[in-house]
Structures are given as C-alpha cells and as structure tokens.
Amino acid sequence: IGGYGGGNPSDPQFRELVVRWFQYGAFCPLFRQHGARSTEIWLYGNESYYAILNVMQLRESMRPYVMEQMRLVNETGTPVNRPLWFNYPGDPNAWNISTEFMFGTEYLVAPVFTYQATNWTAYLPAGDSWKHYFTGTVYSGGANVTVDTPLNQFPLFQKV
C-alpha cells in the first residue's frame, strides 16, 4: 500500500492519498503497507488514522471471504481482482469500465483517485442489485450511481 518513498505525513494532500491507497489496497489480494519512511498510521493525523483503521478492520472482517477467494484462485486460476466484464460478459457497458473492479464475485470496488472528491460515480453491472457498503442503500444494476465519498467512505458495493 502506498509509495515506497517520499511523502510528507503532515501534508493534507498526502494524508488523503494514503487513505485512498488503503481503501484500494484492502481489495487487492495482498494487503500490506510498504515504505522506506515511517508508515505508522497514526502519523497521518486523527481523521486519516480513523479512516485507515476502519479500512483495516473492514479487511479483517472479510478474512473468511478473502480466504475463500484465495482457495478458488488455487483451484481454478480465477483471479480475485477482475474487470467487470469478467463477471458480467453480457453487459456491454461492463466492457468499457476501466476504473472499477470486482473483488471476487460479491464486491464491486470503484477506487477514488481524485484529490478532495466529495462524491464518485460508479457503474453497477446489469443483472444484479447492489448495496452500498457504507450507507446500506440498494441500487439496481445497469446504471451509473453517484455516492458521497467523505474520507472515511468510498464506492464499495456488495451484490444482493
């Protein structure tokens, strides 16, 4: 997670970047922070600390799901991180999305990569309904949805 070197833990822009890296990194097969600098999460201030802590707790709560996905990788070769079209080949819109991915079969992740973004639009594939992880709002697939993205939230949807 994060860059290996550089970055000022006191810089608000870098603090937000590190949080967004954690939010993305929690949905990669390996969830590990790197750095030749000090990487303790409390160095980034209280708001970032709690946002990162929440992401770490989220990943830990998903341990059984992650382990099941790793088992499937071993047995079938199916990747954990997948483009939307991998799970939704019949949805023509899914073939054009390059800024979102599936984490296994159940989760759609749309990482925030713009500084100070207050909301983010994600495409939800057709054929399923999707629950926003943080608000519980359920959306029908086959549409773009815009969700709020305060520092402690990001577009994470679970298939329902």
Cα atoms found within 13 Å of the Cα of residue 152, Cβ hemisphere only: 12
14 and 20 Cβ atoms separated by less than 8 Å:
no
What was the pLDDT predicted at 7? Answer: 84
Written as one string, the DSSP assignment of 51-67 is HHHHHHHHHHHTHHHHH
pLDDT tens digits, one per residue of 56-80: 999 999 999 999 999 999 999 999 9
Instruction: Give, in degrees to the nearest 5, the angle at Cα 139 between 19 and 97.
Output: 60
Q: Which residues pair with 123 in a beta bridge?
A: 144
**Dihedral angle of Cα 17, 21, 24, 30, to the nearest 10 degrees:** 180
pLDDT band at 4; cut points 50, 70, 90:
low
pLDDT band at 20; cut points 50, 70, 90:
very high
pTM: 0.94
For the chain, the distance separating the N- and C-terminal CA atoms, rounded to the nearest angstrom, is: 29
pLDDT tens digits, one per residue of 99-155: 999 999 999 999 999 999 999 999 999 999 999 999 999 999 999 999 999 999 999
Which residues 6+ apart lie within 8 Å of 159 measured at CB?
105, 106, 107, 108, 128, 129, 130, 131
Q: Which residues pair with 120 in a beta bridge?
A: 147
Q: Which residues pair with 129 in a beta bridge?
A: 140
Q: How far apart are CA 85 and CA 102, in angstroms?
A: 9
